[in-house]
Structure 1
Amino acid sequence: MKALLPTGDPAKLVAYGEVDEPRPAPGQALVKVEAFSVNRGEVFRLHGALPSVGLRPGKDVAGLVVQAAADGTGPRAGQRVVAHPPGGGWAEYAAVDTDRLAVLPDAVPTVAAAALPLAGLTALRLLRTAGSLAGRSLLITGASGGVGHYTTELAVAAGARVTAVSATPERGRRLAEFGATVVQDLAAAGGPFHTVMESVGGPSTARALALLRPHGELIWFGQASRRPATLDFFAFFDGPSCAAVRHFHYEDFPEPYALDLATLVRLVAESRLHPEIGRLADWSDTASVLADLHERRIAGNAVLTTGP
């Protein structure tokens, strides 16, 4: 079957190649991939170690089950699904564990569903980590990507007063429509905040930390700038008292992905969550889309389709 494979070439990170069609294990369904989303984390891995270890990218897919799991779990053949495999999804077919699948209702288009898994799971679990946000102030850095869009919309709906940092007014327009206060720099963010969700790294982390209220919490979940953060804890203790810094990773949760994917699908079906697709293209354009994503020329999610 046809699949996108790492090239090791920074100028063109992936190219078509031929691989064996996957043979599902008993607890896996075989999915005909109709659309997939690409994420900046995958771009960074393609620039780094991924080609050398021979792994195939692709964690966000949506499509049609063509072979149900032999153990009887999961969706039936013929059902549309969204899936979050650990890799290998940028291909014509993917074998996916049934606890990583959710069935799509007619109200949720395949293209919209493909934009849900990694970004949506991250946002949902970030808010679960933060706890009750009703009436509380929340700062989100690096908010114009897929995670930021989902987190902002869900947090506003939960009653939070959200301030979102977006590099440009254009990239932040949708965040403002959700009900957030949008700023282009932390210096304009105001504060102090009950909770800060920080994903930029570099000097942003220390600056965001200084905007916490006493007993507030900073949840660190990324380093999009690719610059390590340096914190001066003497300066920190001159600011908020008894504040906390928490590391977050969306995989470190007991709930199976299937349950949270089903929640995201239900929210989309009920028009309570709106995938923001900043780029939609055929998968023959994946290499150029990855370059634009790396250079932050795409707001929201980028989705590629495999069919005509």
Structure 2
Amino acid sequence: MQRLIPTGDAARPVAFTEVPQPVPEPGEALVKVEAFAPNRGETFLLEHPSPGLLPGKDIAGLVVQAAADGSGPDTGTRVVGHPAQGGWAEYAAVPTHSLAVLPDGIDSARAAALPLAGITALRLLATAGSPAGRRILLTGASGGVGHYVTELAVGAGADLTAVTATPARGERLAELGAEVVHDVAEARGPFDVVLESTGGADLPLALSKVRPGGTLVWFGQASRTPVSLDFFRLLDGPERVTIRHFHYAGAPYGPDLSALVRLVDQGRLHPEIGRVTDWGRTAGTLVDLRERRIRGKAVLLVGGGR
């Protein structure tokens, strides 16, 4: 079968290679991949790929071999999955605890756009607490996580302010009901919760906008600039603020995926997909994703997809 592997070349970060089809472990199903969606964080890993790196965490396709231990979906079932790696290939072995069954109304392209960003959004909001009636500030809101957080939080009754780099990236978030600003300094606090994902100078500024006793959840550093906090400046800011570190990872992912699929099927969640193309164009798509030339998710179709 064909698989995409890292090259270490920034201009063409992946290339095709021929490899044996994966042999699933007893608790894994073999999935014929129809579509996959790279994440911007994966483009950073490809800059200096570690030995043995096999990218690919967001996939959708068809189970062609059910798990030997009897767990998970049967052969012939359409699924969305979140394997630890190896999804940019014709076939992937996926733990059954990280699969969810797809209804006929959700195609593989939309399904592939769900896993990492959608799981992160669900778990981030669970960490922050019920959004209903709360004022929330979301930084770095331009990507997939920002889209899902905005739609879910506003749909649950939050008053959400989203920070995006450009007006074009904020248009969809405004349509979803967010107040959109383009600099953290423009956000009108105080906020009950700040969801901060850019790092650098933005985190201290966002922290200053939290109400006394409020919470800042730090879930990323998209600026790739370390954060520095001045204790004495905090004394002049809001009191008793809690800072929480958040990382989405931790299997099983199946329940989260099932919840996301259900929300999409009910018309309550709408993946924003900025590009759908053949996986022969993965290398160029990864460069465009890294350089923020794609609004929303990028989805690559394997063998025509569905």
TM-score tier by shorter-chain length is over 0.9
Distance 2:96 2:180 in 1: 39
The answer on 1:180 being equivalent to 2:173 is: no
Matched letter for residue 13 of structure 2: L
Counterpart selection for 1:92 from 84, 90, 93:
90
Alpha-carbon offset, residue 271 of structure 1: 0.4
- Given residue 19 of structure 1, which amino acid in structure 2 is its aligned partner? V
* 1:250 maps to which of 224, 248, 251: 248
Which position in structure 2 is the counterpart of 1:47?
A: 47
Residue 286 of structure 1 corresponds to: 282
- Give the fraction of aligned pairs with identical amino acids, expressed as a percent: 65
- Does residue 1:263 correspond to 2:259, yes or no? yes
Secondary structure at the aligned position of 2:264 is classed as helix
Q: Which residue of 1 aligns with 2:10?
A: 10
1:229 equivalent among 218, 227, 230: 227
Within 5 Å, give how 1:207-222 maps onto structure 2: 207-222=205-220
Aligned partner of 1:299 among 295, 301, 304: 295
- Amino acid in the other structure paired with 1:33: V
Distance 1:280 1:129 in 2: 32
Superposed displacement of residue 132, structure 1: 1.3
Whole-Å separation in 2 of the counterparts to 1:297 and 1:165: 18
> Which of these residues, 69, 90, 100, is aligned with residue 71 of structure 1?
69
Question: Residues of 2 paired with 1:187 and 1:111: CA distance?
Answer: 37
Deviation at 1:28, TM superposition (A): 0.6
Q: Distance in 2 between matches of 1:297 and 1:237?
A: 40
Could you tell me which runs of 5 or more consecutive residues in structure 1 were left unpaired when the two chains were aligned: none
Deviations 1:83-126 (CA, angstroms, capped at 9, x unpaired): 00000000000000000100000121111000000000000000
Tell me how large the CA RMSD over aligned residues is. Answer: 0.9
2:204 aligned to 191, 206, 213, which one? 206
Q: Distance in 1 between matches of 2:202 and 2:263?
A: 32
3-state secondary structure, aligned to 1:8 = coil
CA distance in structure 1 between the partners assigned to 2:40 and 2:146 by the alignment? 13
Task: Report the CA distance between 1:256 and its aligned residue.
Answer: 2.0
1:30-41 alignment, distance < 5 Å: 30-41=30-41
Gaps of 5+ in 2: none
Deviation at 1:237, TM superposition (A): 2.2
> Shift in Å at residue 218 of structure 1?
0.6
TM-score with structure 2 length normalisation? Answer: 0.98
Q: How many residue pairs align between the two structures?
A: 304
Q: Which moved more, 1:156-165 or 1:255-264?
A: 255-264
CA–CA distance in structure 1, aligned partners of residues 275 and 170 of structure 2: 16
Q: 2 CA distance for matches of 1:41 and 1:92? A: 22
How many Å separate the matches in 2 of 1:293 and 1:183? 22
- 1:298 Cα offset (Å): 1.4
* Runs of 4+ residues deviating >4 angstroms: none
1:146-157 to 2 correspondences below 5 Å: 146-157=144-155
For 2:112, give the aligned amino acid.
A
Q: Write the distance in 2 (CA, Å) between the matches of 1:233 and 1:297.
A: 38
